[in-house]
């Protein structure tokens, strides 16, 4: 069975929208965006022939889940207890071929821009174990996930507004320390050592790959 990443929100029969209406005729307002990412099968899953068409993407917003053959849900439905098929609706669904860049551009980027403009935003990933949450959020060196892309975009947004001096250093939760000449010199040395170790780490892993 294909595992799914992020929140899986079941809607009442006939309701395929994540929008909420306060009163008849009132303008619809979407209060939360819920995205579904369906990861590809692993090599082990493919070797075990686990594809039972359990997850069927009907369109960009609707997915159908079919109970696996031999599962407790399927056996119960065969006895007339419960259902073996459920439909779920999302703001947008991303299939197994979705790249990290495509996911970021179509889900997080706009919210990140709103956040940088002073608006509140909350983004989290939810799913069962081995659903692909870590890959989606962190990614890999060659396929960075949401977190490194947000950090990169944030620093690009800051651009020339960054303070280039090293005579100020964060202290505790919200304080700042003023550094003297010798302390600044030490900070520069520490920074150079960290950057050198990062370059060495990246070079090593590129050779290994």
The answer on whether 132 is annotated among ligand-binding residues is yes
Cα–Cα dist 92/2, whole Å: 18
* Cβ-based neighbour number of residue 55 at 10 Å: 20
The answer on whether 48 is annotated among ligand-binding residues is no
The answer on whether 23 is annotated among ligand-binding residues is no
The answer on whether 98 is annotated among ligand-binding residues is no
On whether the CB atoms of residues 68 and 74 are closer than 8 A, the answer is yes
The answer on whether 174 is annotated among ligand-binding residues is no
Q: How far apart are the first and last CA of the chain?
A: 30
Q: Which residues partner with 144 through β-bridges? A: 139
The answer on whether 62 is annotated among ligand-binding residues is no
Q: For residue 68, give the nearest of 125, 2, 10 by alpha carbon.
A: 2
DSSP state of 174: T
The answer on whether 129 is annotated among ligand-binding residues is yes
Cα–Cα dist 88/1, whole Å: 16
The answer on whether 184 is annotated among ligand-binding residues is no
Residues forming the annotated binding site for ATP?
A: 127-134
Question: Which residues are documented as binding site?
Answer: 127-134
């Amino acid at each position: 069975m294909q595992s799914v990443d992020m929140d899986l929100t079941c809607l009442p029969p006939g309701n395929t929208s994540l929008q909420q209406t306060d009163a008849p005729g009132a303008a619809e307002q979407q209060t939360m965006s819920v995205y579904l990412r369906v990861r590809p099968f692993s090599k082990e899953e493919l070797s075990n022939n686990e594809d039972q068409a359990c997850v069927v993407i009907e369109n960009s917003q609707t997915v159908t889940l079919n109970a696996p053959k031999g599962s407790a849900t399927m056996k119960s439905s065969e006895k007339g207890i419960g259902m073996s098929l459920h439909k779920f609706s999302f703001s947008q669904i991303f299939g197994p071929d979705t790249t990290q860049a495509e996911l970021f551009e179509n889900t997080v980027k706009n919210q990140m821009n709103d956040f940088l403009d002073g608006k509140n935003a909350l983004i989290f990933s939810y799913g069962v174990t081995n659903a692909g949450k870590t890959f989606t959020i962190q990614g890999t060196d060659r396929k960075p996930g949401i977190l490194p892309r947000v950090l990169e975009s944030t620093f690009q947004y800051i651009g020339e507004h960054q303070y280039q001096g090293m005579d100020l250093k964060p202290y505790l939760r919200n304080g700042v320390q003023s550094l003297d000449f010798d302390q600044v010199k030490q900070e520069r040395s520490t920074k150079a050592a960290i950057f050198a170790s990062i370059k060495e780490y990246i070079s090593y892993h590129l050779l290994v790959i």
